[in-house]
Amino acid sequence: MLKYILKRLIYLIPTLILVAALVFLLIHMIPGDPAAVILGPDATAEDVASVREALGLDRPLYEQFVVWLGNLVQGDFGVSIHSKRPVIDSIGERFPVTLCLTTLALIFALIIALPSGVLAAVHHNTNKDYLFMIGTILGVSIPGFWLGLMALLVFSVQLGWFPSTGFVAMWEEFWEGLRYMILPAITLGLFMAAVVARMVRSSMLEVLRLEYVTHARAKGLSEWKVVTKHALKNAFAPTLTTIGIQYGMLLGGAVVTETVFSLPGLGKYLVVSIYMRDYPVVQGCILFIALVYVLINMIVDLLYGYFDPRVQYS
Amino acid sequence: MFLQRFLHNPIGMIGVAVIALNIFIAAFAPVLATYNPLTIDVAHQSEAPSDQHWFGTDEFGRDIYSRVIYGSRISLYISLLSVAVATLLGVAIGASSGYYGGWLDNIVMRIMDAVMSFPAILLAIGILAVLGPNLSNVVLALGLVYTPRFARIVRGSVLSLKEKEFVEASRAIGNGDAYIIFRHILPNCTAPLIVQATASLAYAILAESMLSFLGLGAPPPAPSWGNILSDARNFMMDNAMMTVFPGLAITLAVLGFNLVGDALRDVLDPRLK
């Protein structure tokens, strides 16, 4: 197992280098002189020259990349042009908010998706199933950020159940912090809930048709036990892969959700940095989120074997 | 056979109707709109829905109903073009990569994997952050982001088909690579491509609205559903109704493509039903 994890990590290296290369090339897609674009039209020639030098833009491309990659490996994501602080420090302050938001959204999605998907599969082709299908198709069609705006309007502004401005971190005051997170997490997680629920339903349908399930029933096990203990565990393996892929939707969606709810997370920081043309921060945030996504999918792959022991770790 | 089954699928037909309605609205926007979507009217700022302004007005007194109607144009334009870009690029990359194999395949597919290692909307945000927000850049960004999905499908089909006897037979009678790819291989992967394209259209509409909401899509004052919502956010307390309609429009447009996508999947792969 340990050998397999190591092997997977080694296979990950070329992908990570390519991911880094794409993010590196982003800044070189800026039309014209990046340094001049960053500083805006009022910059003097000396300022432009100093930013060019600070960003290493005066050196050949491959050299810039090697230096940049070397710095990354040492945890140096560059320095913000605006605040002059190391980008990684700002990421470290803001990422917990994003992690909190996406984790809560994931928990919400699973709480909705697992039981409803199983129920729909058990009651296949009944009214319950049709209702489920309507619900999930709406779930993947309603834009989460709009739902967020509507929720803010109804539950925060009109009813006053949740705060509409400000922020309290959950790790400082858990219950108070949770009040700030509930609406964002639910509206962010809804899309994922719908996608995962559909996956649970279709993999449950496949599993419920298999002989071992009939056998379990024939043994006299209650339907509850057959479904939860025998069928669900097998049906969960393909669902897990969907969860891994959909986590990307959460990380990407968090950028918009944090903007809607004014949460001080990585997504909001990214958007604000784009407006300020703080490209090192933009690069750093995008790269960091991509790394998190890659790692989560690797963990999902490793967990896969637990739910589907046919997977060989070799 | 396939088309007939699709035509008998009620979900698919509802989806087709919704898409047709959306196209109709976009095509006849000048007829359907009651005002010019860009005309500023200081006498009627931030008004609630009324006989004159069915969906109310925004902070500049612009008619929201007319802006939502015109918004369908931007949404359709970007989704159709970006998916077209992704399909063309994806087919070209996937077909050549799968057909020729070797180091080309290796390098190209690793790059595709790397692109897919980003949450899609995030990469689009990154590309637009450097290129600047305008319609063609949105098309380009979303097109590039969705390309790997198409490339993977085509490559998979090419790999399984290129060793088949009918392809070898075609090669034996002296047909060239391009002929074989276009005549024998690509027609065999149209079904999964169509399903992917329909799903991508739904995603693209959602993505466009998110990008516009963040100020990275259609630049104002052009009426796009996302930037109407972005304006609405700032005036939510005074004019709540402004938030409702653009969101409903996005939902309806996305729903149409999702319904068709579901129906196509059922028809093509009845196992999942």
- Give the per-residue SS3 of B32-90: HCCCCCCCCCHHHCCCCCCCCCCCCECCCCCEHHHHHHHHHHHHHHHHHHHHHHHHHHH
Quick check: pTM over 0.80? yes
- Comparing alpha-carbon positions, the chain A residue that sits nearest to B130 is A30
Cα–Cα distance for residue pair B254/B207, rounded to 1 Å: 10
Q: For the residues B40-54, what does the mean pLDDT come to?
A: 83
Beta bridge partners of B205: none
DSSP three-state, residue A86: strand
Q: For the residues B36-63, what does the mean pLDDT come to?
A: 84
pLDDT band at A105 (very low <50, low <70, confident <90, very high): very high
- Comparing alpha-carbon positions, the chain A residue that sits nearest to B124 is A252
CA distance A52 to chain B (A): 16
Residue B137's nearest CA partner among B55, B219, B197 is B219
Q: Which two tokens stand for residue A12?
A: 């990950």
- The complex scores an ipTM of 0.89
Higher pLDDT, A34 or A287: A287
Q: For the residues B174-195, what does the mean pLDDT come to?
A: 87
The per-residue pLDDT for range A257-298, each reduced to its tens digit, is: 999 999 999 999 999 999 888 888 999 999 999 999 999 988
The per-residue pLDDT for range B132-141, each reduced to its tens digit, is: 888 999 999 9
Q: Which two tokens stand for residue A53?
A: 């030098």
Cβ-nearest to A289 among B119, B214, B254? B119
With a pLDDT cut of 70, the percent of chain B lying above it is 98
pLDDT band at B272 (very low <50, low <70, confident <90, very high): very low
Q: Is a pLDDT exceeding 90 seen at residue A311?
A: no
Beta bridge partners of A181: none
Residues in B closer than 8 angstroms to A151, CB to CB, are: none
- For residue A190, the Cα-to-chain-centroid distance in whole angstroms is 13
Residue entry with tokens 């990659």: A69
| B221 prior amide bond cis, ω within 30 | yes
B130 Cβ under 8 Å from any chain A Cβ:
yes
Q: Is a pLDDT exceeding 70 seen at residue B270?
A: no
With a pLDDT cut of 70, the percent of chain A lying above it is 99
Cβ-nearest to A255 among B115, B121, B271? B121
Alpha helices in chain A (DSSP H): 2-28, 34-39, 45-54, 61-73, 87-122, 127-141, 144-151, 174-208, 211-218, 223-225, 232-261, 266-275, 279-307
- For residue A120, the Cα-to-chain-centroid distance in whole angstroms is 27
Q: Which two tokens stand for residue A252?
A: 């990407």
Cα–Cα distance for residue pair A104/A221, rounded to 1 Å: 35
Cβ(B94)–Cβ(B155) under 8 Å? Answer: yes
Pick the residue of B18, B115, B122 with the most A CBs within 10 A to test the interface with A by mutation.
B122
A293 to B117: CB separation less than 8 angstroms, yes or no = yes
A150 to B121: CB separation less than 8 angstroms, yes or no = no
pLDDT band at B271 (very low <50, low <70, confident <90, very high): low
Cβ(A237)–Cβ(A305) under 8 Å? Answer: no
Q: Is a pLDDT exceeding 80 seen at residue B1?
A: no
Tell me which residues of chain B, numbers 192 to 211, contact chain A at a CB-CB cutoff of 8 Å. Answer: 202, 206, 209-210
Burial (Cβ within 10 Å: 0-12, 13-18, ≥19) of residue A60: exposed
Q: Is a pLDDT exceeding 50 seen at residue B129?
A: yes
Indicate the Cα dihedral angle A75, A81, A85, A91, nearest 10°. Answer: -60
pLDDT band at A312 (very low <50, low <70, confident <90, very high): low
Cα–Cα distance for residue pair B37/B54, rounded to 1 Å: 13
The per-residue pLDDT for range B98-117, each reduced to its tens digit, is: 999 889 998 999 899 999 99
The per-residue pLDDT for range A148-181, each reduced to its tens digit, is: 999 998 998 889 899 888 888 888 888 988 999 9
* pLDDT of amino acid A306: 74
B229 to A279: CB separation less than 8 angstroms, yes or no = no
Residues in A closer than 8 angstroms to B262, CB to CB, are: 137
Lowest mean pLDDT among B86-90, B197-201, B205-209, B234-238: B234-238
Q: For the residues B223-236, what does the mean pLDDT come to?
A: 88
Alpha helices in chain B (DSSP H): 2-7, 10-27, 29-32, 64-100, 102-116, 120-131, 135-161, 165-172, 177-180, 190-213, 225-234, 241-268
Q: Which two tokens stand for residue B265?
A: 């999947």
Cα–Cα distance for residue pair A205/A223, rounded to 1 Å: 15
Higher pLDDT, A194 or A68: A194
Residue A251's nearest CA partner among A287, A203, A302, A301 is A287
Beta bridge partners of B57: B63
A30 to B130: CB separation less than 8 angstroms, yes or no = yes
* pLDDT of amino acid B3: 79
Residues in A closer than 8 angstroms to B216, CB to CB, are: 274
Q: Which two tokens stand for residue A140?
A: 């993947």
Residues 6+ apart with CB under 8 A from B148: B90, B112, B113, B115, B116
Cα torsion angle, B15, B20, B23, B29, sign: negative
CA distance B158 to chain A (A): 24
Cα–Cα distance for residue pair A96/A105, rounded to 1 Å: 14
* pLDDT of amino acid A314: 52
Cα–Cα distance for residue pair B135/B234, rounded to 1 Å: 23
Rounded to 5°, the CA angle B256-A185-B128 comes to: 60
N-to-C CA span, chain A: 8
* pLDDT of amino acid B273: 45
